[in-house]
Structure formats: C-alpha cells, structure tokens
Structure 1
Amino acid sequence: MNGTELAERSAVSRAKRRIGHKLGPWAVFFKGFIQHPVMVGSIIPSSRFTINRMLARTDWDRCKLFVEYGPGVGTFCQPVLDRLRPDGALIVIDTNPLYIDYLNRTIHDPRFTAVLGSAADVEKIVKERGHDGADYVLSGLPFSTLPDGVGPAIVDATHRVLNTGGAFLVYQFSAAARDFMAKRFDRIDSDFEPLNVLPCKMFWGHKD
C-alpha cells in the first residue's frame, strides 16, 4: 500500500469516527443491531413512553437490586438510576462487548455494573456481585427469535433469582415472551404502548 492509499484510508477512518461521535448512542446501537440482529431485536432504542410505562409499576422504595437483560446503549439505564434508591444497585447483562464497553465509558454511577455475559447465567452474576437475589428484572430480549432452549432457560433462571414479591418486566413486539413466562409465573399483567417503533407489548410476571 502506497502513501496515497494510506492517506485515503486514514481520511475515511477519521470521517467514520466523526460521524460516530456525532450520532453517539444511535451509531453504537445501530452497529450492534447489524452485528447481532437476532439478539438486539430492534433497529432503534425504545421510546420514552415505553420507558415510563414499563417502569411505572416498580416499587422503587423496596428495590435494592434491579437487573436488566440486553441494555444496548443504556436507554433504560439512566431512567432506572434516576428512580433507584441511593443504596440500590443496577446490574445490566449483555452478550455484545460493543454495548458493554460503551456503557462502561458513558455511565459513571457507583450503583451501576455492566456485565458481559448471558442472561441465563443471571444467578451466578448476581451472586458474584454480592447479592442474594434481585427485586426486579427487566428484559427487551426478542424471545421469539432466540435460539431453541435459550428463552426457557432465561425465564427459569429469572424466576429463581427473583426475591419473593419481585417481578420480571418484559417489553416485546410480539406476545411470544408471555408464553415462556406463563410456564413459571402464575400472575402476569399485560399492557401496550402504541408510541414506540414498533408498537410495544408489555408484561409483568410477578413472583408472589
């Protein structure tokens, strides 16, 4: 490669970095979707309407540990931290190192921990961080497109890690997640948020 080619490649790299910096989390989210569309499930983050409706039923006074699966670029992270008690903790779990790196670089809160791993290992992850269980678990993972066996494994592990009185909060574009949840959660509340791309179904599985 000659000097001209090196200069051109360098200019292209600088242009990509400038574009990525201007787009911020949108660029990171889109890149993650391109890399792992089956695991991300959406091409854009959730709307503020979805966030507010999804978190509205949480009893924040009793929440010591909140866990999120598939946080992406942190669309829910700051809203959760804004509501979380001062001595609470938020653990997010994602299989994409791109997202985990981004979250670690952009969220500076002592209550926040980002873990590269699988939601099916939530019990181990929670225990290793010094907690006996979680009060709430939030998931935007696309259950309808997960590999065979992964969805049930995540739901089973989530039910086990939840403290009594806790809940599994799920938002999806289809009702497939409810079918998985119904095998472990006897009481499931449902709702719908039209102001989202795409319109979003919501489920709260309670561990009574």
Structure 2
Amino acid sequence: MHSTDLAQLPLRQRLKARAERVFGAWGVFAREFFKHPRMVGSIVPSSDRTIRKMLGPVDWQNVQLFVEYGPGVGTFCRAVLDRLPRNATYIAIDTNPDFIRYLRKTIPDSRFVAVHGSAADVEAIIAAHGFDHADYVLSGLPLSTLPDGVADAIAQGTYRALRPGGAFLVYQFTRFTNQLIRPYFDRVDRGFESWNVPPCYLFWGWKAGGESEQQLTYH
C-alpha cells in the first residue's frame, strides 16, 4: 500500500497497516493476542521444532485436502505449503477477520484458501469448496478455553470430516485435548515439545480405516 493510499484510510485501519509494515507477522500476532488472549492462546508463534514434529506423521504424497483451524498469521501455513502436492488444496479457517485479511494478503498461493468462519462448521466449509472429506486437520485453537460444548462440537465435526485413515493434529498448552478427543477418535498418539514458548503437548487423533495408518510415538 502506498503512503497516499494509507493516508486516505480511517485512523484505526492506518494504525493496523503501519503495525503490519513495521512489525510484520509477529506484530500482528502479538496485537491479536492482547485483544483476544483466550482465543489466540500464546503471544509467541510455534517454534520450528514444534512444526516439524506436528507435521511429521502426514503422508504428504496422498494429501488432497489439508485443513487448519486457527492459522493466525500463518506460522504453519508456509510449512504446510512447502510440503503440499501441487494439485492439493489447503483451507485455513479462522474466526478472526484480521488474521484472515493478513493471510490473504501475504500468501499468494493458488492452493491456499483462507476462510473467515468457525471450525465447528468444517463439514459445511469443505463441502462448499467441493470436497467430501479432509485428509488431515491441524488445530492450535485453545480448546480448553472455548465456550461449553464448542470444543466437543469441533471434535465430533472433525472426525466426521476426515477420510478413513486421516488424522486430527492438535498442539496445545494443556493435556485437556487428550480427554476431549479420545472419545471420538479411534486412536490418539501423544507427544511433547519443550522447545516452544510455552512448551506444548502434541496430539494425533486417528480415524480408523486407512492403509497408511501406523502407530506413532513421540517424546
């Protein structure tokens, strides 16, 4: 955006644009954390080690649709796109319009679709984009702080949205996710990453029925 265009925007939008220009993704992430701490969860984006470990079990060659809940400023987005096949689709869903606006502005990849919506509506969202099921769903949403019933609705909807053999990949700062997704998924693998701020718990909830499904253990 040119300075002449910036000057014509309302004050609030000018401040947002300048913050993004000066501080980049970290500034946008920090700003939204202070505005919505219960929804963003952490003031610092996930570490590279967390990203690698979280995405480790994905069978990238056979991915057609990858979905993410709560992508924020795209910390995982770029890592996923680096691994995603050319003919695959990546749908990122977030309730925060500022994050969606930032992602659409900064990720010019034809495989990437940023959707302003709720993770609880994942089935309708993927159907609207021409898919019956997702291969993998990634989530960094702070599930333990969501309103009553919402986390359960997300877990159930995610299980239905996944293809047989697909997985729900979740990174959290509490063990709450284990008790949340275990009743709905056929197997849950767990891990932990200390090299993160704060350290986080990792979960892979598997839907039975896929030939590529395998037992995974991470420490």
The 3 A distance-change label for structure 1 pair 16 and 38 is: closer
Query: Secondary structure of the residue that 2:73 maps to in structure 1?
Result: coil
Rounded to whole Å, the distance in 2 between the matches of 1:187 and 1:14 is 48
Q: CA deviation at 1:30?
A: 1.1
- Report what 1:104 is aligned to: 104
What is the aligned-residue identity percentage? 57
One-letter amino acid matched to 2:60: W
Establish whether residue 95 from structure 1 lines up as the match of residue 86 from structure 2. no
Query: Secondary structure of the residue that 1:183 maps to in structure 2?
Result: coil
Query: Secondary structure of the residue that 2:62 maps to in structure 1?
Result: coil
Rounded to whole Å, the distance in 2 between the matches of 1:15 and 1:140 is 27
One-letter amino acid matched to 1:35: K
Contact in 1 for aligned 2:19/2:28 (Cα 8 Å):
no
Any idea what the Cα deviations from partners look like across 1:81-130, whole Å, max 9, x if unmatched?
00001110100000000000000000001100000000000000000001
- Report what 2:118 is aligned to: 118
Q: CA deviation at 1:16?
A: 7.5
- Report what 1:55 is aligned to: 55
Gaps of 5+ in 2: 1-9, 209-219
One-letter amino acid matched to 1:87: N
Query: Secondary structure of the residue that 1:179 maps to in structure 2?
Result: helix
Q: CA deviation at 1:33?
A: 1.2
Contact in 1 for aligned 2:181/2:205 (Cα 8 Å):
yes
TM-score (norm 2): 0.87
Moved more, 19-28 or 147-156: 19-28
Any idea what the Cα deviations from partners look like across 1:150-171, whole Å, max 9, x if unmatched?
0000000000000001000000
- Report what 2:175 is aligned to: 175
- Report what 1:165 is aligned to: 165
Query: Secondary structure of the residue that 2:61 maps to in structure 1?
Result: coil
Rounded to whole Å, the distance in 2 between the matches of 1:149 and 1:168 is 18
Any idea what the Cα deviations from partners look like across 1:120-143, whole Å, max 9, x if unmatched?
000000000011110000000111
Q: CA deviation at 1:20?
A: 3.7
- Report what 2:23 is aligned to: 23
Establish whether residue 82 from structure 1 lines up as the match of residue 82 from structure 2. yes
- Report what 2:7 is aligned to: none
The 3 A distance-change label for structure 1 pair 15 and 59 is: closer
Query: Secondary structure of the residue that 2:50 maps to in structure 1?
Result: helix
Alignment RMSD? 1.8
Moved more, 19-28 or 65-74: 19-28
TM-score (norm 1): 0.91
Query: Secondary structure of the residue that 2:60 maps to in structure 1?
Result: coil
Q: CA deviation at 1:186?
A: 2.2
Q: CA deviation at 1:178?
A: 1.1
The 3 A distance-change label for structure 1 pair 135 and 198 is: same
One-letter amino acid matched to 1:161: A
